[in-house]
Amino acid sequence: MMKKVTLSLFACVAILLSAAADEGMWLPSLIGSRIKDMRRKGFRLTAEDIYSVNKASMKDAVVLFGGGCTGEFVSAEGLLLTNHHCGYGSIQSLSSVERDYLTHGFWAQSRAGELPVPGLSVRILVRMEDVTERVAAGEKPAEIAKAASEEGHAADVQPMYYGNQYFLFVYDVFRDVRLVGAPPSSVGKFGGDTDNWVWPRHTGDFSVFRVYAGEDNRPADYSKANRPYRPKRHFPISVKGVDEGDFTMIYGFPGNTQEYVTSDAVEYVAEVSDPMKIELRTQRLDIISAAQAEDPAVRIQYASKHASIANAWKKWQGEVLGLRRLGTADKKRAYEKRFAAWAASKPEYAGLLDSIRTAYDAAKPEYYVYELYTESVGAIEAVRFASQLTARRSRMKEGEDFASAAREMRESFMKDYSPKIDRAIARKMLGEFLDRMPADRVPAELTAAVAECGGASEYVDRLYDNTTLTAESFDPAKIDDDPMVRFVAMFSPLRKRIAESAYRNLSNIPSVERWYRPFVRAMMEWDRDRAFFPDANLTLRVAYGSVAGYEYADGEYHRPVSTLEGVMEKDNPEIYDYDVPQRLRDIHAAKDYGRWGCEIAGRVSVPVCFLATNHTSGGNSGSPVINGRGELVGINFDRTWRSTMSDMEFDPSICRNISVDIRYVLFTIDKVGGASYLLDEMDLRR
Ligand code: ARG
Ligand code: ASP
């Protein structure tokens, strides 16, 4: 309180300026351009320490985990940390009713007890290289990648700034990755969907893996004879902890941002796309939640589906709120006006904004069809299953037996499927599709069939009454006669168009994207003071900032650290999301914190999570949070929901990423998991 009042005007200005620069996800090989700013904010190392081709650097300690998360090495023997929600699928796949690792957690207790996860791989960046000139000289990106991958690596070439630059990324792909440990979900997913995207947060969102390699320390298929991989670099761990104001750096793989799109695109997202998707998902979630409340078996069966539907649903709500609150579309409109005035005298740029607008006007209805289909009819489980079956059949190779493949697919589909829930969702979703879709895009056959039945719900009932895909009488030889398969087939032309357009987001629609390339180039030429960084595209990035709370509204200040006291305050055995494990209750009651206890805000407790100003996005989950000395202080796992507009506009005053404090990770391994042997191979620093 006193501190706030005595802040001088100068200090206020300094804070604002430095905060404003926390925006950005920088390419590691170009981090030299930011290093002065980073050092001013508390980074003590060099650009070479972050990324180097010639010697081991931090980048050798960071991995792309699975298809869309980040992980980091914390020992010389390939020990890897990531989030619990990133390891979730692996942990689930290794679990059974008798060995339920999701519920009870898992600790290998020895190397021999570590569990291989079939299908799981991690990628380590070997090097990245600017290949813009080679592409400009006529080489195809795919050919450049192919040539690089022939050296026994995986490689791809990614455009930056809409193709104003191209970078080659060369990776080692390790395919023998084993589960070492996971806390029970009552720690790793504590707070569940209720607390997801929310601060204050008390989730121990971490899991532990180990990467294995062949005798030569190179990637190898799973073999009992493989050895722990010896990474070139691993992170030392600071057990000193973090304080407000401390420098933080996030090193990881953010997936997708759209910072340079025009006002029209922002308006479409905030006023058309997100609201439509939110409304449709609200309906699906309501149906699932009601069924879950009625039947505990359904609660478990649909837990993971509910979580993934709710995750984006909540994120979009924050995005809409944030974009409106910031007035992003209006601000961009004003910016575009100034740009247009500058560009007016430059023939190569003068018409760009008009071209983008015209391209959007043409593309938007098409894009909306894609989004609406995906979120309505495409979200029906039986529809997805029917499509998977026919897709599988069209991929059959000589000698393969479709019937047994289909039966296997059916078995795994039915495991977590409620025909009752899906029917209720299908009635709503088909209704919404028909209401919202322009009439000329609704398959004529469907219109006729619905009319014949007397309405969408009646039509859906008939589908579900007659389909055999989900029935005991399922016959793989007769799927073409099945009403559900025929229903899906009605959408084939629409699906084909969608597949061909390969949309990822509003700015990569090809007809629009071609204009973004000169537009971004022109912006860079014009707006000299702006620090441009390429949009996230699941390539390795560095984001830096500091541990910081935030004041969302007048008087609504959020302190940046949470503690075990907050976990216990939420404890409620009646509420699934807040049912603290008994072991943790006992530890808390006895204050048996060992070396992990410390004084925070006047109480002796264990630190749990903290907030920082790093610019992150989906894919940054599991990313190492690194202090000024290059030591690991946390694992990133979330943002606040009111931050999520940062994918389009980063607001330094309220955008915060959420990390689990590394001391809570170590405390949980040591005290809750009883796996302190893992700490022995880590490099803990005071
Ligand atoms: N919101 C985080 C992210 O986008 C975490 C999601 C997993 N947690 C959950 N309770 N659903 O991935
Ligand atoms: N939870 C996200 C992830 O899984 C991170 C974020 O969107 O902030 O990558």
- Strand duo 684-685 + 237-238: pairing: parallel
Within 13 Å of residue 414, how many CA atoms lie on the same side as its CB? 12
CB of 196 within 6 A of ligand 2: the answer is: no
The phi, psi pair for 81, rounded to 5°, reads -110, 145
CB of 374 within 6 A of ligand 1: the answer is: no
User: Closest Cα to atom 7, ligand 1: which residue?
Assistant: 85
- Which comes out higher in pLDDT, residue 328 or 510? 328
- Compute the distance between CA of residue 359 and CA of residue 357 in angstroms, rounded to an integer: 5
User: Closest Cα to atom 11, ligand 1: which residue?
Assistant: 307
Beta bridge partners of 80: 73, 209
CB of 644 within 6 A of ligand 2: the answer is: no
What is the per-residue pLDDT for 368? 94
What mean pLDDT is predicted for residues 94-118? 94
3-class secondary structure for 272-330? HHHHHHHHHHHHHHHHHHHHHHHCHHHHHHCHHHHHHHHHHHHHHHHHHHHHHHHCHHH
Residue 685 and residue 631 in contact, taking contact as beta carbons nearer than 8 Å: yes
CB of 618 within 6 A of ligand 2: the answer is: yes
Task: Using the mean position of ligand 1's atoms as its centre, give its distance from the Cα of residue 487 in Å.
Answer: 33
pLDDT digits (tens, 9 = 90+) for 167-223: 999 999 999 999 999 999 999 999 999 999 999 999 999 999 999 999 999 999 999
- Compute the distance between CA of residue 463 and CA of residue 430 in angstroms, rounded to an integer: 12
CB of 659 within 6 A of ligand 1: the answer is: no
CB of 646 within 6 A of ligand 2: the answer is: no
Ligand nearest to the CA of 310: 1
pLDDT of 1 strictly over 70: no
pLDDT digits (tens, 9 = 90+) for 30-70: 999 999 999 999 999 999 999 999 999 999 999 999 989 99
pLDDT of 8 strictly over 70: no
Least confident among 226-235, 279-288, 364-373 = 364-373
Residue 289 and residue 306 in contact, taking contact as beta carbons nearer than 8 Å: yes
What is the per-residue pLDDT for 21? 60
What mean pLDDT is predicted for residues 466-491? 96
Q: What pLDDT band is residue 652 in, cutting at 50, 70 and 90?
A: very high
Task: Using the mean position of ligand 1's atoms as its centre, give its distance from the Cα of residue 624 in Å.
Answer: 17
Axis-axis angle for helices 483-490, 444-453 (nearest 10): 130
- Compute the distance between CA of residue 578 and CA of residue 566 in angstroms, rounded to an integer: 11
What mean pLDDT is predicted for residues 484-501? 91
Task: Using the mean position of ligand 1's atoms as its centre, give its distance from the Cα of residue 202 in Å.
Answer: 13
- Compute the distance between CA of residue 583 and CA of residue 581 in angstroms, rounded to an integer: 5
- Closest ligand 2 atom to Cα of 616: 8
- Compute the distance between CA of residue 542 and CA of residue 216 in angstroms, rounded to an integer: 30
pLDDT of 16 strictly over 70: no
* Active-site annotation holder among 22, 176, 205, 670: 205
Ligand nearest to the CA of 192: 1
Ligand 1, from 309, 621, 623, 642: best to mutate by most atoms within 8 Å of Cβ? 621
pLDDT of 420 strictly over 70: yes
- With a CB cutoff of 8 Å and minimum separation 6, the contacts of 290 are none
Task: Using the mean position of ligand 2's atoms as its centre, give its distance from the Cα of residue 142 in Å.
Answer: 29
Task: Using the mean position of ligand 2's atoms as its centre, give its distance from the Cα of residue 639 in Å.
Answer: 7
Task: Using the mean position of ligand 2's atoms as its centre, give its distance from the Cα of residue 226 in Å.
Answer: 32
- With a CB cutoff of 8 Å and minimum separation 6, the contacts of 345 are none
User: Closest Cα to atom 3, ligand 1: which residue?
Assistant: 638
SS3 35: helix
pLDDT digits (tens, 9 = 90+) for 579-604: 999 999 999 999 999 999 999 888 99
CB of 647 within 6 A of ligand 1: the answer is: no
CB of 640 within 6 A of ligand 2: the answer is: no
- Closest ligand 2 atom to Cα of 68: 9
What is the per-residue pLDDT for 9? 39
Beta bridge partners of 661: 634
Distances (CA, A) of 612 to 19, 23, 323, 542, 557: 11, 12, 21, 14, 14
Cis-peptide, bond into residue 200, ω within 30° of zero: yes
CB of 620 within 6 A of ligand 2: the answer is: yes
What is the per-residue pLDDT for 601? 82
Distances (CA, A) of 525 to 2, 41, 324, 534, 599: 45, 28, 29, 15, 51
Backbone torsion region of residue 129, taken as left when φ is above 0, otherwise alpha when ψ lies between -120 and 50, otherwise beta: beta
Ligand nearest to the CA of 255: 2
Least confident among 249-258, 302-311, 639-648 = 302-311
**Catalytic site residue 85?**
yes
Task: Using the mean position of ligand 1's atoms as its centre, give its distance from the Cα of residue 315 in Å.
Answer: 10
List alpha helices for 527-574, DSSP H. 564-570
- Helix, strand, coil shares of the chain as percentages rounded to 5? 50, 15, 35
**Catalytic site residue 205?**
yes
Ligand nearest to the CA of 657: 2
CB of 205 within 6 A of ligand 1: the answer is: no
pLDDT of 5 strictly over 60: no
SS3 166: strand
Helix (H) or strand (E) holding 106: strand 106-107
Task: Using the mean position of ligand 2's atoms as its centre, give its distance from the Cα of residue 194 in Å.
Answer: 16
- Closest ligand 2 atom to Cα of 636: 5
- Compute the distance between CA of residue 650 and CA of residue 326 in angstroms, rounded to an integer: 10
pLDDT digits (tens, 9 = 90+) for 192-201: 999 999 999 9
DSSP 645: G
Task: Using the mean position of ligand 2's atoms as its centre, give its distance from the Cα of residue 520 in Å.
Answer: 26
DSSP 121: -
* Active-site annotation holder among 207, 562, 621, 623: 621
CB of 311 within 6 A of ligand 1: the answer is: yes
SS3 545: strand
What mean pLDDT is predicted for residues 94-112? 93
CB of 201 within 6 A of ligand 1: the answer is: no
How confident is the prediction for the chain on average, in pLDDT? Answer: 94
- Closest ligand 1 atom to Cα of 638: 2
Task: Using the mean position of ligand 2's atoms as its centre, give its distance from the Cα of residue 620 in Å.
Answer: 6
User: Closest Cα to atom 5, ligand 1: which residue?
Assistant: 638
pLDDT of 4 strictly over 60: no
Ligand nearest to the CA of 617: 2
- Closest ligand 2 atom to Cα of 255: 9
Percentage, residues of the chain above pLDDT 70: 97
> Tokens standing for 332?
């961009």
CB of 196 within 6 A of ligand 1: the answer is: yes
- Compute the distance between CA of residue 55 and CA of residue 36 in angstroms, rounded to an integer: 22
Task: Using the mean position of ligand 2's atoms as its centre, give its distance from the Cα of residue 618 in Å.
Answer: 4
Ligand nearest to the CA of 646: 2
* Active-site annotation holder among 84, 85, 202, 306: 85
User: Closest Cα to atom 1, ligand 2: which residue?
Assistant: 638
- Compute the distance between CA of residue 133 and CA of residue 613 in angstroms, rounded to an integer: 35
What is the per-residue pLDDT for 297? 87
pLDDT of 12 strictly over 60: no
